[in-house]
Chain A
Amino acid sequence: QLQLQESGPGLVKPSETLSLTCTVSGGSTGSNDYYWDWIRQPPGKGLEWIGSIYYSGNTYYNPSLRSRVTISVDTSKSQFSLKLSSVTAADTAVYYCARHGYTWPVNWNFDLWGRGTLVTVSS
C-alpha cells in the first residue's frame, strides 16, 4: 500500500530556509502516472497548495510563493523535497505531501496525502 511520509526540522529560524522531504513507500516517484505535491495549512486555517513536481522534474508553483520555493525529485530514493527560503512566522504551518494524477485537469485532485508535519518559524 502506497504511503507518503514527511520528514524534516520542526523548527526553523526566521530568514532561514525550510527544508522538507517526502518519502514514498510502496511505490515510486518515478511513476509517469502522478505529480507529487506540497500543501500547507497554518494552525486553525485553510489549505494552500505550494507546488507540484513530475518525475521528469517538470514543476508547477503557486505564483504567491514561486520566488521562494524549490521542489525537487529523487526517483532513485522515491523521494521529493521542498525548500522554502526567507521564512517568516507566516510560514508556520502543517506541511503535507500529496499526489495528483498526470492528466490535467481530469485528475488534478489530491487522492493520497501524508500525515503532515508541523513546522514552526521562530527564533
Chain B
Amino acid sequence: DIQMTQSPSTLSASVGDRVTITCRASQSINTWLAWYQQKPGRAPNLLIYKASSLESGVPSRFRGSGSGTEFTLTISSLQPDDFATYYCQQYESYSPLTFGGGTKVEIK
C-alpha cells in the first residue's frame, strides 16, 4: 500500500491567515494526488486534482502544489467557510486507493 501522511493533524488559525497543509506519500505518486474538504456531517468535496488543478467551482484561494512524495495545500486567506477537515488521496496505485489521515483546521 502507498501510505499517505498528513501534517499537522490539527491546525488553529484565524480568518485571513495563510494556511499550509502537507501530505507525504510513502513512494512516488508523480502528481496523482487529490485534496478534499469535509465539513461535519457532510461528505467530502473535491477541491484539487492532479496535485494542482482546481476543481470547477472551488475558490481560487485554494492552491495545490508538489510532485513525487511531497505535496501541499495552501489556503491563501482563510475564510469562515474554510474551517473543516482536509484529506489528501493518492491515485497512483489502485491497490488500494488511499487517503491521508486528515487535517482539521480550527478557529484560533
Contacts and interface: CB of A to CB of B under 8 A. Distances in A.
A46 B101 contact: yes
A65 B97 CA distance: 13
A33 interface: no
Given A46-B101, A113-B44, A108 B91 contact: yes
B71 interface: no
Contacts of A104: 91, 94
Interface stretch (A9-17, A21-29, A56-64, A73-81): A56-64
A62 B96 contact: yes
Given A113-B43, A113-B44, A47 B94 contact: no
A26 to B, nearest CB: 17
Interface in B77-99: 87, 89, 91-92, 94-99
Contact of A109 (B91, B100, B102): B91
A47 B99 contact: yes
A106 B46 CA distance: 15
B94 A109 contact: no
A105 B101 contact: no
Contacts of A107: 49
A3 B46 CA distance: 15
24 contacts: A46-B87, A46-B99, A46-B100, A46-B102, A47-B87, A47-B102, A49-B96, A49-B98, A60-B95, A61-B96, A62-B96, A62-B97, A63-B95, A63-B96, A96-B43, A104-B91, A105-B94, A108-B32, A108-B91, A108-B97, A109-B34, A109-B89, A110-B46, A115-B42
Interface of A: 46-49, 52, 60-64, 96, 98, 100, 104-111, 113-116
Given A47-B44, A49-B96, A62-B96, 6 more contacts: A49-B99, A60-B94, A63-B95, A100-B91, A108-B32, A115-B43
